[in-house]
């Protein structure tokens, strides 16, 4: 499976929630923990040896820093079944595109090899660029079924999200975040991502407490020193 979506829209949070539901456990008669789900982040560049090292480190398996990639892989093919790894989750999979075509091809072959040898599913998470990364290998493109995390829209699900957030706000007065104008303004300022919405509400809550208004309003939002995600690069450039 390939889970794709904009930055800060909950991909890693979904992975962490899944990990919490399937944590490592210590079997009474086993010599080591059982690790049903192995979660790692893809290295900043698609490098086979670095990726193998990340997997070994996550499993607390000692290895030489200059060990050959093929020997690391042989370790993994022994250790992962011994620890009952049933799924491999790779976050930030779009990092594949940071390498040249040959490195991308090699990295994708490593993923295919692990999947074939261990007979376990691989779940990858990344931005929309991840689609282009995995399309480079026809077989992997067929295996990784994409599931998109869409941007939030002004609908009942979004209003339910706002209600949930409001219950957590440490404010004395109700803000009524689901009021149409306020809800739309919050959606515009956060550009439809849950991470930005959470950050925006945190900043607004702090301002509401400082100003003693004790509620989030349209007027308060307009006074915030808030730069929308898509404008931040240009904003930073103007400050230099």
* Residue 51, domain member (yes or no): yes
Determine the pLDDT at residue 140. 77
CATH for 24: 3.40.50.300
* Residue 236, domain member (yes or no): no
In three-state secondary structure terms, 25 is strand
Structural domain range at position 169: 156-231
Q: Is the pLDDT of residue 84 over 70?
A: yes
Whether the CB-CB separation of 95 and 42 falls below 8 Å is answered with yes
- Spatial distance between the Cα atoms of 240 and 236, rounded to a whole number of angstroms: 7
- Which tens digits make up the pLDDT trace of 163-201? 999 999 999 999 999 999 999 999 999 999 999 999 999
What is the DSSP pairing of strand 122-126 with strand 2-5?
parallel
- Spatial distance between the Cα atoms of 219 and 54, rounded to a whole number of angstroms: 48
In 107-225, the DSSP E strands lie at: 122-126, 146-149
Last residue of a domain, one of 118, 149, 180: 149
Determine the pLDDT at residue 20. 95
Q: Are residues 44 and 8 in the same domain?
A: yes
- Which tens digits make up the pLDDT trace of 100-126? 888 888 898 999 999 999 999 999 999
Mean pLDDT score of the chain = 90
Domain count, the chain: 2
Q: Are residues 120 and 49 in the same domain?
A: yes
Determine the pLDDT at residue 237. 52
- Read off the tokens for 167: 């219950």
User: Across residues 129-145, what is the average pLDDT?
Assistant: 79
* Residue 237, domain member (yes or no): no
79-117: string of b/e by CB count within 10 Å (b at 16+)? Answer: bbeebebbbbbbbbbbbbbebeeeebeebbebbeebbee
Q: Are residues 123 and 166 in the same domain?
A: no
- Spatial distance between the Cα atoms of 118 and 81, rounded to a whole number of angstroms: 7
For residue 27, give Cα distances in angstroms to 32, 58, 111, 180. 8, 19, 29, 53
Q: Are residues 128 and 25 in the same domain?
A: yes
Q: Is 145 exposed, middle or buried (CB count within 10 Å of its CB: 0-12, 13-18, 19+)?
A: exposed
* Residue 239, domain member (yes or no): no
Q: Are residues 16 and 88 in the same domain?
A: yes
């Amino acid at each position: 499976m390939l889970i794709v979506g904009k930055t800060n829209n909950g991909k890693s949070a979904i992975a962490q929630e899944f990990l919490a539901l399937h944590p490592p456990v210590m079997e009474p008669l086993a010599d080591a923990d059982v690790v049903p789900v192995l979660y790692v982040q893809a290295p900043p560049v698609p490098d086979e040896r670095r990726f193998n090292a990340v997997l070994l480190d996550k499993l607390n398996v000692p290895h030489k820093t200059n060990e050959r990639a093929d020997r690391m892989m042989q370790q993994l093919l022994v250790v992962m079944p011994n620890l009952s790894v049933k799924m491999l989750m790779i976050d930030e999979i779009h990092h594949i595109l940071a390498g040249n075509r040959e490195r991308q091809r090699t990295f994708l072959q490593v993923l295919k090899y692990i999947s074939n040898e261990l007979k376990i599913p691989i779940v990858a998470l990344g931005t929309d660029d991840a689609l282009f990364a995995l399309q480079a290998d026809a077989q992997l493109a067929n295996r990784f079924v994409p599931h998109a995390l869409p941007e939030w829209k002004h609908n009942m699900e979004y209003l339910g999200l706002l209600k949930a957030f409001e219950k957590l706000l440490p404010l004395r007065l109700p803000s009524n975040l689901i009021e149409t104008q306020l809800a739309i303004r919050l959606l515009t300022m956060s550009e439809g991502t849950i991470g930005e919405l959470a950050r925006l509400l945190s900043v607004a809550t702090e301002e509401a407490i400082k100003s003693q208004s004790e509620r989030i309003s349209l007027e308060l939002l307009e006074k915030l020193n808030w730069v929308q995600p898509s404008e931040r690069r240009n904003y930073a450039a103007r400050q230099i």
